[in-house]
Structures are given as C-alpha cells and as structure tokens.
Chain A
Amino acid sequence: MNALVPLPVILPLLGAGLALMLSRRQALQRAVSTTTLVAVVVIASILLYQADRNGPQVIWIGGWPEPLGISLVADRVSAMMLLVSAVVTLGVLVYSIGQGMTGDDRDTPLTIYHPTYLVLAAGVGNAFLAGDLFNLFVSFEILLFASYVLLTLGGTGSRIRAGTIYVVVNIVSSMLFLISIAAVYAATGSLNLAQLAGRIAELPDSVSLVLQLLLLTTFSIKAAVFPLSFWLPDSYPTAPAPVTAVFAGLLTKVGVYAIMRIQTLLFADSPLSDLLLWAALLTMLVGILGAIAQSDIKRMLSFTLVSHIGFMLFGIGLGTAAGFSGAIFYVAHHITIQTALFLVLGLVERRAGSTSLLRLGGLARLAPLLGVLFFVPAMNLAGIPPMSGFLGKVGLLEAGLQVGSPLALALVGSSVLTSLLTLYAVAKTWSVAFWRTPEQAHEMAQALPEPDERRPLLDPEVVRHGDHVHVGTATYGRRELDEARSIRDEEDGTNRDLHQLLQAGELPDTLPRTMVGATGGLIAFSLGLTLVAGPMFGFTDRAAADMLERDPYISSVLSGGAR
C-alpha cells in the first residue's frame, strides 16, 4: 500500500480541471500545469527509488477486497517509464509555453491546450501504472482522446485530413483491444494482470495463442510496428511542433511498454520470438527506407521513429534478460532523443519558416546554436559513440549475439544497417538544411514546377476544364483560384524558400529563450543518460530480471495469495 502510486494520474487530472477553470487567466493556467508536472516528476522519482529499493509499489483503489478492485502497480520498469515520460512532458510543456502555444499559430485556440495536455499526461501515467487490462484500456482511451484534440487543434485542412486517419485507426485498434479483453475475460474470468499470469498458463495452448495474437496486434497498432505502422508518418507531422514531439516521444512507447508487459507477465511460456523478431526486422528496414525517401524533415523523423521501434521489439523478441534490459534502456533513450529532435524542428520552423529540405539552407551560419541543438541529438539517434544511442544499441547487439540463432544474427546485422542508414538520413538533412547556402536552396526551388501544376494529378477530385476547376461537386473560376492562392501565399509564406524569406526580412532574428532552454534541457537530459549509463544498465538489468521472474510483481500485487 503506497498512497503515492495514484498521484501521477490524479494530479494531472485535477490540474486539467483547474486549468480549464482558469482558461481566461493564462498566467495562472501556465503556473498550474507547470506545477502539476513538476510534482509528477518528483513523485515519479520517489516511486522509482522505492520500487528499486523495496520492490513493486501497489495500491488497490476503492478499498474492495483484494482481487476485486482496481490495482495500480509501480515496479521498476513502470516507475522508470513514468519518470522519463514525466521529465519529457514537463520539458515539452515549458517549450510550448515559450512558443506561446502557439503565439505564431493563429489557428490554435490557446485555452484548451493546457487542460488537454495534462489529460494526456494523466493517460500516459495511468497506462504505465495500470495493474489490469481494462484499466490499461481506459488509460489508452484517455491519452488517445487528448491526442485527438491536440492533433486537430484549430481544425485546419491538413490537420483534419491527418486527424481522420489517426482517429479512425485508433478507434479500430481500441475495438480490437475491447474484443481481446472480452476474450481474455471469457477464458479466464479475470482481468487483473497478476491473476492472469497464473490463469493464462493453465489454458490450452491454442486459446492462449489466440489471446496473445489479439493483444499483440492491438498493441502493435499503438506502437506502430510494421505492417501496422502506416498511419504514423501520415498523421504526426501536421500537428504543432510540441504536440508532435510529445506524441513521438511517448505514445508509441506506451504500446511498446504494453507489449513488454504482456509478453513477460501473461505469456511468459510462449514468447512467439520468431514472429516478434521478424516484425522487428521489417519495422527497422521499412521504416528507415521510408525515412531516406523523405524531403520534409518532420516526415523523415516520423519514419525514423517507426524504424527505431524495431530496436525495442528486437530486445523484447529475444526474450532474454539481456534483451529486455537493452530494450528498456533503448526506450528511455529514444523517448528523450526523439522528443528533443522534434522540438529542434519546431525551432527550425520558427527560425527559417519551413522544415522542408527544399527550402532550407545555410542554417548553420544563420543560427549556429540551432546547428548544435540539431547535431547532438541527431548523432545520438544514429548511435555515434559514446552517446546513449550507441550504448543502447551495443546492449541490444550483445543480447542478440548471446542468443546466436540465425534470425537473431540477422537482426544484429539489420540493426547495424539501420543505424548506418539513420546516420545517412540525418547527415543528408544536415548537409542540405544546415550546410549549403540559402542561394543554392533558392535556385533549386526555382527549378521546380509550381505546386499548382501537380494538383490535378494529386487529387482526383480536382478536374480542370479551361478556365474552371472542379472540386468534387463545386466549380471555381480560374480567377477565384488565383486569388485564393495569392491569399494563401501572402498569409503563410510557405511557398517561399529561406532565401526569399531572408530577403524579405520576415524571419525572427532570435528564438525565445524558453524554447531553446527547454530543448537544451532535454538534450542535456539525454546526454545525462549517457553519463549514468553504467548504473542505469545495472538498473535495467534488475528490472529485466524482475520481469522475467514475474514473482516480485505477482506476489506484491496479490499479497493475500488469491490467484
């Protein structure tokens, strides 16, 4: 019994309510959300310390007799995930405050950002702490709902388009989750993870295989595992920078955590290693090949996000203590680094008006600090020694070599290849966006045809006849369309490259200190992971051992021995 355990869920929810009430007083609203998240960071650190020292921390909510109520559990893995996610959400919150969330974006309603963001934080915290399947489902719904709102903030055309795919895909996966929950309950009569651990082992193999495949499919959609990753690169890049950053950092990792949890706790006897390893292999390679083909940095990073989910799945698929240890370390590393990179992109967008490789150039001279801020996490993502990305990959590669099966060795090879291709993708970004001159970018952009010429082919709904353009059932005159285009160009300037924008003198000379500070802080945190990598690997080893042993978790949840 530990009263601290539910606080990472309750505090953000209370904070969200308070922030909603204070929606007219922005300074207070900011203070509320920052204080809440700082408190969550502190509580998560205490929980981590307690879980590491005294074993899993458990609370049964509502005072029901033991196997009946809802349990929240913080063992080593969940406490660590909780702490890393709390730090990241806090960092992104500070960043978005610096951005004026988002002062430069007139489409974004200011008042609902903070409450929704806190609800998202509560959902993520609840997912890590949930001790039964249905509570896990509810926390997924909490965080998904918040993410629907954040993704479609302002309801602009591109966000609605991206949001449609995102919302429908996630609802379908939630339905699949509900079906799996119904099946699990029908088969075992319980949804408590600790109880299920014993009961699923007693089921016939075929039944437990069906349950496992159902749950794995559900969580693979959430975690963006190939071939269920198609929705991610299409929906993330359109959101405001801090939103994309926190989604990229946290939401997929919640899915990875869920896979880790069910693989160890519920289906320890049937790891399905081959299936997971194949999925990991394909996720890595397909993801990174997609990343290479992109010309927008945000899309490129969304594909590397998919690709690096493969690394975590690799560790989980191996099923050994070393594999899990490496996967847990990699999750912590990747949450911070991916978030930091998206935050840097937000800064690039603000400073240079675009994140497209076609329009950028010469950023290293224009904004040297931005160059450093991009370079360090980008190299870390690619896994250049001695940074945490390198250490995490070494941990995984060692685990793969220990197993030594042909498939594991193939994965070791593809991990190295993926790291190289990641390096290629970020190096290409670096040399184009930061290294060449803006004039070169301008010349290249001039050589391209007008986007207008491509439009009819891109969108089958648009058909052009002489002076008229048909969109769906509506018809527009040529002049109307030209007017529309000039308004659009005037308004957001997205059609102009960096060179033109610089000459027009419309770009801000400096970046808000809070935004740079928050980004720098997260990068420093990721470098801190490198510094404490030794003790941290010790910790993840213990966490992985706990997960594989299962007993610390089960016996501390069900102290009464109800199995």
Chain B
Amino acid sequence: MTADLTLISTASVMIGCGVYLILERSLTRVLVGLVLLSNGVNVLFLVASGPAGRAPIVGLSPPPATMSDPLPQALVLTAIVITLGTTAFLLAMAYRSWQLTGHDDVQDDVEDAAIRRLAAADEASDSYDLSQRAGDEDDLVEPAQEEGRPR
C-alpha cells in the first residue's frame, strides 16, 4: 500500500496540536484540542483508505478499480457526527462550569489536593479524615456566586 505523505503530515500536525491543547487547563482550549485531534484522526482514515479515486457510486462511475474506497468515508462520516455531539456536550459543560465557578478551568483532583495539603502540613498519613473533607469541598462558595455573580 502506498501512503500519501501530505495527508500523513497534516494528520500528525493536527493530532500533535490537539494533544498539546488537551494538556491545557481551560476547558475551552481542551475542547479546541479535541476538535483538532478528532479531525486529525479523520484525516488518518483517508490515509487508511489508500490512493484517492473516483466517487464510489455504484452504476454511475467507472470500473471499481478506479473508485476510492467508500468504507473509510462512511466511517469518517459517523465519526464526524459523533464529534459534533461531543463538542456540543463539552461546550455546555464548559458554560455550566463558568456559571458555577466563574471560570472554566479543569478543577483540581480531590485526591491530589488532599495529598498536596498533607505534604504542606507535613502530617503523617492521616488520609482517614482528609479525603473525606476534600470530598465535600465542592460548592462551598457557590451560593455566594449565585447572588453576587462575578462579572
């Protein structure tokens, strides 16, 4: 099988940028990263489908040998639809996160925060109560924000 170098490099650049953006803290950037990533993967499917050819319409087009492979195109279509749904959902979550906290940053992992606190306080392992307290630490300040919403 021959592969198209342009397509491969396009896909790798898109996936690389996508991965970089996913590592960001802000959910909106993560979202842009995911969109880039998924489009990069879609381009990969074009690589997988082999050399380009005529439109694969049975009965209209020239002999099957000159058609491009229709299956990866069908797969890409499905993947695009799924990405659309995911993007919409993530956008809604980012908006909700902004409503609740005033920013859309990915929040700290509860366990990590507890461990960091332990290290800061230089306590012996007493995770018995710490993880618990950490478990509730969400929305302590939220109601205040509901009243006097920032911005």
Q: DSSP majority for the B interface?
A: helix
C-beta contact mask, A471-482 vs B, less than 8 Å → 1, else 0?
111101000110
A164 touches B132 (CB 8 A): no
Q: Which among B101, B133, B141 is the interface contact of A454 at CB below 8 angstroms? A: B133
A148 touches B108 (CB 8 A): no
* CA distance in complex: A481, B142 (Å): 9
Which chain B residue has the least Cβ–Cβ distance from A448? Answer: B129
A457 interfacial by beta-carbon distance below 8 Å: yes
A480 contacts B148, C-beta separation under 8 Å: yes
Query: Would you give the shortest CB distance from A158 to chain B, in whole angstroms?
Result: 4
Enumerate chain A residues within 8 angstroms of B141, measured Cβ to Cβ: 462, 469, 471, 476, 481, 484
- A168 and B30 contact, Cβ closer than 8 Å, known pairs A473-B150, A480-B147: yes
Q: Mark B8-31, 1 if CB is under 8 A from A, else 0.
A: 000000000000001000010010
Q: Are A487 and B101 in contact (CB under 8 A)?
A: no
Q: Judge whether A152 and B113 touch: CB under 8 Å.
A: no
Q: Encode contact with A along B116-127: 1 for CB under 8 Å, 0 otherwise.
A: 110011000101
Q: Is B107 an interface residue (CB 8 A)?
A: yes
Give the residue name and chain of the B residue nearest to A459 (CB): B108
Tally of chain B residues near chain A (CB < 8 A): 67
Q: Is the CB of B135 within 8 A of A299?
A: yes
In contact, A182 and B44 (Cβ under 8 angstroms) = yes
Say how far B78's CB is from chain A's closest CB, in angstroms.
7
Asked whether, in the complex, the Cβ of A138 is within 8 Å of the Cβ of B148, the reply is no
Judge whether A203 is part of the interface by a CB distance below 8 angstroms.
Answer: no
Q: Does A435 contact B (CB under 8 A)?
A: no
Say yes or no: A164-B93 contact (C-beta < 8 A), given A157-B139, A458-B114. Answer: yes
Q: Are A484 and B143 within 8 A (Cβ)?
A: yes
Scan residues 92-151 of chain B and give those whose CB is less than 8 A from a CB of chain A: 93, 96-97, 100-103, 105-111, 113-114, 116-117, 120-121, 125, 127-129, 131-145, 147-148, 150-151
Q: Bound state CA distance, A104 and B125, in angstroms? A: 36
Chain A residues with CB under 8 Å of B52's CB are: none
Leading 7 A-B pairs by shortest Cβ distance: A474-B150, A186-B48, A157-B139, A484-B144, A158-B138, A484-B143, A295-B132
Known: A234-B110, A448-B133. 8 other contacts (CB 8 A): A141-B82, A158-B139, A181-B75, A186-B47, A471-B102, A476-B145, A484-B140, A484-B144
Task: Name 5 A/B residue pairs within 8 A (Cβ), A-sorted.
Answer: A168-B106, A185-B49, A295-B129, A461-B105, A476-B141
